[in-house]
Structure 1
Amino acid sequence: MAKGLRAVGEDERPADDWKTMSIQEAVLTGDVLLMLRVQRRETADSFAKAGDNTRPQLNNELNKLHGLIAAEEALRALAAEEERRGEGSGSRRTFKATAI
């Protein structure tokens, strides 16, 4: 059965929008994960076309980006879980220097 159409909000984008977006467009969104994904895609594209002397540098960059993306995804998953359980930043105790 086909899904019905719905109105889309101005701030909504497809989940795989990073696959066609330029790095400039990603930066303008302000979304760190989106920027990292676009940067990884562009680096991977460069890796395929790079000469032998450049590939180790691009490989290192890809490894760093993989780690940064995994860390950002983990942070978002943790925040979503805290939000689901009602433990958002509002209920978390914060440090107050004046309390000492």
Structure 2
Amino acid sequence: YIYCPGDVMASNPKWRQTVSTWQGYFEKWIEQPEPMALMLSSIFFDLRVIHGKEKLLNKIRKKILVKAPKNQLFLAHMVRNALTHRCRTGTW
């Protein structure tokens, strides 16, 4: 396997956190949409449960889905990123 050069993987203890820590991550990323926050948001908005309790992820999503649409600056940056970054595999 080729590991993620940014270390955005479950093997990194930074990403094995409690629900409240994850909610804090997302709140900070949404409130302070700097480039790294936008990259991490776009990666982790695609979270899926592979093992464990789905209700824990649903708690996080519930808060994000309320908070993100209210922050126009965050949304504008995410849209800009989506329009300017292309998939490296050429499938987009």
Greater RCO (CA < 8 Å, at least 6 residues apart):
2
Q: TM-score, normalised by structure 2?
A: 0.32
Larger of the two Rg values belongs to structure: 1
